[in-house]
């Protein structure tokens, strides 16, 4: 198995050199990393991110509180439904008992009227007694017994009616209290939701500030990278002029630009936003740095090796002053082995698959670890 220049090492993004980039329509995200430790300085971006993390924790806590209050409110609503059903049943029983009391009263009234009007009992007792005097006594006895029985029935029904009314009142009081509890829970839930929304608005504001700070920092870093590259180009031109004045042979720059270069650039640009993945070369899915450049040139009909080191070895080395779109630009991390490659697109920028967590994107050429340029 052939050893790859970008195998057995950490991803390009984890080393202390190079420019980290993130493609975006609004800004070109670039980060120039200097060699060696940096002095401790105030970092407004880190402070803003810490504030955002604290707000996010508060939002999460409020979210849990809202969820708990919502569950409690739902339980209170279910209890209200149960109490309402119990009240309805008690009310129905009261109505039934009230109807029974009315029926018993009607029966007693009908018996009394019947005895009074006919002078006989409704039970046929008059056929058993022949004496008018005895019959009158029986009628009185009957009326007394019947009245006592119906009165007792009415008393029992009234007692049940009173018990049911008391139960209904107790249930109604419980429902009133439960309604107050539910209203309080709902109010607390709304307040928690409002607090959460306010915190989310604050978080959005802080995140906007973070984005602005990052954009400013990235713009400054991109400008610094561009200045450094222009200084590198100026130094190369000066060296070339000095060599020419001294009678030395000038650096060859007559390597022709391949006709497929525009197609290779278009192919690479078609993958903007595709995630970085070490060892990947899958259009629309993932690329690593050398996978992108190999695939892009393959779309233009040109075959180049797979790794950054092999691409550097196989390309015709040209001065940076001769860069043209489609040329490859190479970096290392302070060793002799080429570790990263990108494709030049003009204007001092390259297109690349930078590092884990990033996507195919544009970036200004940076000078830290810059090895040189090659033409396929």
Beta-sheet pairing, 349-352 with 361-364: antiparallel
Predicted local confidence at residue 34, as pLDDT: 31
184-217 pLDDT per residue, tens: 888 888 898 898 899 999 999 999 999 999 889 8
CA dihedral (364, 369, 373, 376) positive or negative: negative
Supply the CATH classification number for the domain 58-204. Answer: 1.10.287.1700
Contact 352, 21 (CB under 8 A): yes
| Alpha carbon of residue 191 to chain centroid | 22
Predicted local confidence at residue 278, as pLDDT: 94
Of 63, 160, 66, 59, the closest CA to residue 104 belongs to 160
Q: HEC profile for 304-320? A: CCCCHHHHHHHCEEECH
The tokens for 29 are 């995200």
User: What's the whole-number mean pLDDT along residues 243-268?
Assistant: 85
- In this predicted structure, the answer to whether residue 96 has a pLDDT above a threshold of 60 is yes
- Return d(Cα 354, Cα 370) in angstroms, integer: 14
Q: What percentage of residues in the chain have a pLDDT greater than 70?
A: 77
C-alpha R_g of the chain: 47
DSSP letters along 14-67, please? GSSSEEEEE--SS--EEEEEPSS-------HHHHHHHHHHHHHHHHHHHHHHHH
- In this predicted structure, the answer to whether residue 101 has a pLDDT above a threshold of 90 is no
115-131 pLDDT per residue, tens: 666 655 444 444 444 44
Contact 331, 371 (CB under 8 A): yes
Which residues of the chain form CATH 1.10.287.1700?
58-204
Contact 292, 268 (CB under 8 A): yes
Of 68, 1, 5, the closest CA to residue 336 belongs to 5
CATH topology of domain 251-375: endopeptidase fold (from Nostoc punctiforme) (3.90.1720)
Beta-sheet pairing, 370-375 with 349-352: unpaired
Which residues of the chain form CATH 3.90.1720.10?
251-375
Provide the mean pLDDT of the chain.
Answer: 80
- Count Cβ atoms below 10 Å from residue 140 Cβ, excluding itself: 11
The tokens for 175 are 């429902």
User: What's the whole-number mean pLDDT along residues 272-287?
Assistant: 96
Phi, psi for residue 129 in degrees, rounded to 5: -120, 125
Q: Which residues of 29-59 are buried (b: 16+ CB within 10 A; e: fewer)?
A: bbbbbeeeeeeeeeeeeeebbebbeebeebb
Predicted local confidence at residue 36, as pLDDT: 34
The one-character DSSP state at 205 is H
302-316 pLDDT per residue, tens: 999 999 999 999 999
Predicted local confidence at residue 251, as pLDDT: 60
The tokens for 80 are 């209200």
- Is residue 297 classed exposed, middle or buried when 0-12, 13-18 and 19+ CB atoms within 10 A define those classes? buried
Alpha helices (runs of H) in the chain, residue ranges in sequence order = 44-118, 132-245, 261-269, 289-299, 308-314
Predicted local confidence at residue 97, as pLDDT: 79
């Amino acid at each position: 198995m052939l050893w790859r220049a970008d195998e057995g090492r950490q991803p390009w993004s984890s080393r202390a050199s190079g420019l980290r980039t993130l493609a975006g329509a609004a800004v070109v995200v670039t980060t120039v990393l200097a060699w060696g430790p940096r002095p401790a300085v105030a970092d407004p971006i880190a402070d803003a991110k810490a504030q955002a993390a604290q707000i996010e924790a508060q939002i999460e806590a409020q979210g849990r509180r809202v969820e708990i209050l919502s569950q409690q409110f739902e339980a209170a609503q279910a209890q209200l439904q149960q109490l309402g059903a119990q009240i309805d049943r008690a009310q129905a029983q009261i109505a039934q008992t009230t109807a029974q009391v009315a029926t018993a009263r009607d029966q007693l009234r009908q018996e009394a009227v019947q005895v009074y009007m006919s002078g006989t009992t409704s039970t046929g007792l008059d056929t058993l007694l022949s004496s008018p005097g005895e019959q009158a006594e029986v009628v009185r006895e009957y009326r007394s017994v019947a009245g006592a029985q119906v009165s007792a029935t009415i008393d029992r029904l009234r007692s049940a009616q009173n018990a049911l009314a008391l139960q209904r009142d107790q249930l109604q009081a419980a429902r009133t209290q439960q309604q107050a509890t539910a209203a309080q829970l709902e109010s607390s839930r709304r307040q928690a939701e409002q607090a959460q929304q306010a915190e989310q608005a604050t978080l959005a504001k802080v995140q906007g500030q973070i984005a602005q700070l990052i954009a400013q920092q990235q713009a400054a870093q991109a400008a610094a990278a561009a200045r450094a590259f222009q200084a590198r180009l100026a130094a190369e031109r000066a060296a070339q002029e000095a060599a020419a004045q001294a009678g030395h042979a000038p650096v060859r720059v007559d390597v022709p630009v391949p006709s497929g270069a525009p197609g290779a650039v278009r192919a690479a640009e078609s993958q903007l936003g595709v995630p970085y993945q070490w060892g990947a070369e899958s259009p629309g899915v993932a690329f690593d740095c050398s996978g992108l450049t190999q695939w892009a040139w393959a779309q233009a009909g040109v075959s180049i090796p797979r790794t950054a080191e092999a691409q550097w070895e196989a390309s015709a080395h040209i001065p940076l002053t001769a860069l043209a779109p489609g040329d490859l630009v190479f970096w290392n991390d302070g060793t002799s082995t080429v570790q990263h490659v990108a494709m030049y697109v003009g204007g001092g920028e390259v297109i690349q698959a930078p590092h884990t967590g990033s996507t195919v994107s544009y970036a200004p050429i940076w000078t830290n670890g810059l090895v040189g340029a090659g033409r396929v």
